[in-house]
Amino acid sequence: MRNFSTSLVILAVSTTLAHAQGFDFLYTTSQNEVTISGSGGTVLRNVHPNDIMAMPAFPCPQLAEKWSPRQCMITMAGDEDGDDSYWEPGLMGSVDALITTATAGTALVNPRTVWYSPSVALNTTVSGGVGLRPGDIGRIVRTGAGDGRVQHFIRQEMINQALGLPIATVIDVDAAAFGNNQGLFLSLDTDIACSPCGGPTLLRDGDVFCIPPGAYTMTAAGTIGAVVPNSAVRVYTEAQMDAFVLNAQVANNVGACVNVAVDTESLDIDFSTPSTVAIPGCTGTVVFVPTLIFTTETLTGGAILTTAFGGQIYNSTCAALGTSCGSGPTLGLQIGLRPPTAAMGIPSYVNALASSRLFTYTAEAKQAQIPAFTSAQIDFNTPGIGTWVFMTFAPTGPGAVAPSSPVIWGFLGFPDYYMVPNFMGTVPGGFATYTSPAIPWVCDLVFQGVTITSAGTIEASTPTMVEVF
């Protein structure tokens, strides 16, 4: 994906231009898929539910590539389950919700700054504490205690408090969107009886509720530090979400017209349509609900809708992100994924969604585990003129985690490098594969690339690991 240019730096600081030209999106899929581009024949073409994808506003037709491969998450997390192996292909299960807290459409994000909610909890061997659970929204960071730690944007206990649930209730965040002045919008994976603003309620898995700005306190770190009990406001019922879907007149992956939501799967704020709906809140306050972009489990084929004008297919800069009823199936081409046949779309729905400005520089090992005396192969998607490939040895043993340090010269790519880097060789820009010499030892290795962009910045790729046994 070639979504970096000198103009992107201008876009990153120009709100007016960003709104005029549309948004880039991060998203995840509900099933394994394949990029429409083929990603140069590299392993980066294979999409998993715990990979975060990038879909830039340009070029057209719509393309998508990996932005944070699961290997990046695995490297950041370390041996979180203490089994003396870094390789955990099912880490987090799937990414069920995504949010960014930067100003929408104007600020670049990276895998250390985006927030997410997993479908399967991270183990706590490395991170300690409560880890990252399906009821939390957080991220894997480096702190003074080391790498592989978890920082929470909001904890499960706070969401429970806002919903009037017992603090220890196990919940699963299925969709989330956040706006600095709009609040935190959420949907849960299962129906649950609770007592939010307005009293006892059966909250459905298709409902959307909000913790409004006046009901939470932000910390100096930009996270939610406290919430007002029983303050959550249901802004859309499942029946209303059904109506949005019905009004959008969108087809699923087999060409059938979708008329129900069933379960709301992702949310984002539609800043391209700045209308709001006023909903009565608690203690005489009013909650202003922005137009929301959303997906549901019925939207196979990867369609993305908006609540604008009573429910429509969302229009990106390139095209509508879904096929209208009667015009065939929604194939997945709209979000840059390859359909299984010309007559049937991808089986996935979009599982998580967030608008942002994107810079994509990824690395992923073709094989995460190889026998000694064989070569490691690392696939790159490089936005610059080429990649300088570096390798470092990672600690071994149960609960190990590779240490990282800040990249002080870059501001677009992955913000950390893994110590101590050993120069291994170069590969050209674009999609390319680095093949190492045969590795004669049993060891754990981290590979990472460095490039120079057309703007003259020096950027690091996402990290990837190889275990030699």
Q: What is the pLDDT of residues 354-389, one digit of tens each?
A: 999 999 999 999 999 999 999 999 999 999 999 999
| Average of per-residue pLDDT across 416-426 | 95
223 has pLDDT over 70: yes
Give counts: helices (H), strands (E), the chain.
5, 33
> 215 φ, ψ to 5°?
-105, 0
Domain total for the chain?
A: 2
Strand-strand pairing, 52-55 and 24-29: antiparallel
Whether 467 contacts 369, CB under 8 Å: yes
> How is the chain split among helix, strand and coil, in percent rounded to 5?
10, 40, 45
Give all strands (DSSP E) within 253-409, no chain letters.
Answer: 264-269, 276-280, 286-290, 292-296, 305-306, 312-313, 350-356, 362-365, 369-370, 374-394, 404-406
- Residues 379, 331 share a domain: no
What residues make up the domain containing 141?
A: 6-356
> Which bin fits 34, alpha (ψ -120 to 50), beta or left (φ > 0)?
beta
- Residues 141, 112 share a domain: yes
- Residues 458, 326 share a domain: no
Q: Is there a domain that residue 306 lies in?
A: yes
Strand-strand pairing, 458-460 and 443-452: antiparallel
58 has pLDDT over 70: yes
In this prediction, what percent of the chain has a pLDDT beyond 90?
Answer: 86
- Residues 352, 371 share a domain: no
- Residues 56, 29 share a domain: yes
d(CA 207, CA 213): 19
60 has pLDDT over 80: yes
Q: Is there a domain that residue 451 lies in?
A: yes
- Residues 258, 176 share a domain: yes
| Average of per-residue pLDDT across 285-307 | 96
- Residues 242, 143 share a domain: yes
Q: Is there a domain that residue 1 lies in?
A: no
pLDDT in tens, 70-92: 999 999 999 999 999 999 999 99
d(CA 208, CA 185): 7
Which band of pLDDT confidence, cut at 50, 70 and 90, is reported for residue 12? very low
Q: Is there a domain that residue 330 lies in?
A: yes
Count how many Cα atoms sit within 13 Å of the Cα of residue 310 in the half-sphere of its side chain. Answer: 4
d(CA 320, CA 414): 31
Whether 44 contacts 437, CB under 8 Å: no
- Residues 376, 262 share a domain: no
Q: How far is CA 293 from CA 67, 273, 335, 344, in A?
A: 21, 10, 14, 24
* First-last CA distance in the chain: 33
Tokens encoding 151? 């920082």
Which one of 307, 323, 356 terminates a domain?
356
- Residues 350, 243 share a domain: yes
Q: Is there a domain that residue 75 lies in?
A: yes
Consecutive H or E run containing 241 = helix 238-248
- Residues 386, 312 share a domain: no
DSSP 256: P
Q: Is there a domain that residue 220 lies in?
A: yes
d(CA 354, CA 377): 31
- Residues 411, 327 share a domain: no
Which one of 356, 383, 416 terminates a domain?
356
13 has pLDDT over 80: no
- Residues 366, 326 share a domain: no
Which one of 308, 334, 356 terminates a domain?
356
The whole-number pLDDT of residue 185 equals 98
Q: How far is CA 377 from CA 43, 432, 467, in A?
A: 10, 10, 12
Instruction: Encode 9-24: b = buried (16+ Cβ within 10 Å), e = exposed.
Output: bebbeeeeebeeebbb
Rounded to two decimals, what is the model's pTM? 0.93
Residue whose structure tokens are 């509720």: 209
Domain of 459, CATH number, reads: 2.60.40.10
